[in-house]
Structure formats: structure tokens, C-alpha cells
Amino acid sequence: MKEAVETSGDPKVNRLILLRHGESCWNKKNIFTGWVNISLSRKGIEESLKAGNKIATLPIDLIFTSALIRSQMTALLAMGVHLDERSPCLLNTDPSCKEERLFSEQLHDNCIPLYTAWQLNERCYGQLQGMNKEKAQQHYGTEQIQAWRRGYDAIPPEGESLKETTERVVPYLKEQIFPHFFKGKNILICAHGNSLRPIIMHLESLSKEEVVRLEIGTAIPYIYAMKEGKWYRQYG
């Protein structure tokens, strides 16, 4: 039996579903991952399928993921158990790529477009990437690691602050995703803890002090709808 999400409100209202990827192989090993393209662990695969069961009855018209494989795997696994029989179709936005064009309108109608975007990537951790988190604390000091991980403006060596991550995520959200939502589309965004934080910050008008305290579990759907011009969270 599928464990579907119970949501309130008018079923005709379209929704924005946010989903952090399942556990990755480096999450399991407690290693800073950032932009390193690491796949899901066995547990992450199971988490993704469970997430898919939770949202199995919710309509999804478009999917957006980061350019990293762990977010793409999570989206595809989740949609593999969705009740919608349409297939997610990864779209290449390069106009020179002609091979993937569909010449059948019927087949086109059986696909759910999936767009990948580097703007939705995890925060870049620079020189911390590939380091075990405990060893990083021994090398840099626990307080410094905590400042980098939980500060809004703090930047790891050759890395990216949460503020800088926000400055690439939110414009993409407004310019590439919101126009579809406001046309009535139901959208799934599958990304990362530190690229979903800016989205939730924007939707819920969180301060920078509040957003750094926000914990987003792996493969737990956050479901938003809009009423009278204001976002509200239905689940998550």
C-alpha cells in the first residue's frame, strides 16, 4: 500500500513540491560533497522510493533538478512509483541537439519534462569537498567548520557561502520555475539541502538567521501552495 501525503485545501490548486535527494554515498561516509557528482547509497535509493510513494497521488507536470546525479536519481526513482503513467523525459536545452526531438504528439503527451540546472546545485564547499567532516574539524577546528556550515555569509576556502548560493538559486526560481507555476503547473524540484534552503527562505520570508537553522531531511517532500498571493506549506 502506498503511503500518500495528505494535503489540505482545494485539490485543483497547483502545488510546488520540494524534495532533497536521498542519502548519497558520501553522506553515508560523512564526507563534504558539494559539487562532487556522487551517486545515491542503497539507503538513498530506498528513501527516494519512499518519497515517491508519499507524493504518488499528487499531479506533477514539470520536474526541475540540479545538474548533480544524486538529485536526478532521486527524482527519477520517486517518479518510478508515481501513479502517473507518463515518463520523466530529461530535456537537453542545447538547440544544436536534435537527436532527442519527439516527432509524435502522442509520445510527447506521455512525457513529463525534466530540466536540469546547475543553479540548483548544492552549495560549493571548495577545499572541504572530499574531506571527512570529523577530520575537517580536526584540521580547521570545530568552531570554524561550524561557522562555515551554519553561517549565512561565511565562505569555506575556495567555496561558496549560503548567501552566494541564494543569489543563484532564487533568480532561477523566479525566472525559470515560477512562470510555469503561475500558469497552473504542478512542479517538483529535486535538489539539495543548501539549494532548497534559499527557496524555502523565499517562500516563507525567513531571515538569514532563521534559514541557517533550517534542517531539511533527505527525501522528505515539502509541499507548498499559494492562496490569495501568499505561499503556505501543506506538508513537510
Residues designated catalytic: 21, 122
Range list of H helices, the chain: 25-28, 42-54, 69-80, 105-109, 133-140, 142-150, 162-172, 178-181, 193-204, 208-211
SS3 146: helix
**Among the listed residues 20, 61, 192, 47, the one whose alpha carbon sits nearest the alpha carbon of residue 118:** 192
Do residues 216 and 27 touch, judged by C-beta distance below 8 A? no
d(CA 16, CA 226): 9
Q: Which amino acid is at 20?
A: R
Q: Which amino acid is at 69?
A: I
Q: Which helix (H) or strand (E) holds 222?
A: strand 222-227
Q: Which helix (H) or strand (E) holds 46?
A: helix 42-54
d(CA 176, CA 209): 27
Do residues 170 and 198 touch, judged by C-beta distance below 8 A? yes
d(CA 220, CA 47): 8
